[in-house]
Amino acid sequence: MVTPWRRLGVYLDLVYVFPGTIGVGTGLGYLADRWLDTSPYGTMLGFLLGLAGAFWYLFRMLGVFGHGGRPDGDDDGP
């Protein structure tokens, strides 16, 4: 059984991971732009890759709850 505190922890994890992933992707794209002098294409590509990674993580976490499992993959059922 998933306790409310455990579920809250997973949702709070999403609050930090979702924008953090987008920020890291955008930041790496910005650094690539400065290094390769390709502004703004690296920043846009980094943002899109970060956004895709953030949504992948979100869907993966929500899929765990959709199957009745705990976030760590351990079920209490038979």
The answer to whether residue 28 sits within a structural domain is: yes
pLDDT given at position 62:
79
Bond from prior residue into 71 cis (ω within 30 degrees of 0)? no
The answer to whether residue 66 sits within a structural domain is: no
pLDDT band at 49 (very low <50, low <70, confident <90, very high): very high
Per the structure, the complete domain to which residue 52 belongs is given by: 20-60
Residues 37-61 have a mean pLDDT of 94
The answer to whether residue 30 sits within a structural domain is: yes
Count of domains observed in the chain: 1
User: What is the spatial distance between Cα 30 and Cα 36, in angstroms, rounded to a whole number?
Assistant: 10
The answer to whether residue 11 sits within a structural domain is: no
| H-assigned helices in the chain | 4-36, 41-66
The answer to whether residue 14 sits within a structural domain is: no
pLDDT at 74 over 60: no
The answer to whether residue 73 sits within a structural domain is: no
- Take residue 8 and report the two structure tokens written for it: 């809250």
pLDDT given at position 45:
97
Output phi, psi for 77, to 5 deg: -75, 180
Instruction: For the beta carbon of residue 78, count every other beta carbon within 10 angstroms.
Output: 3
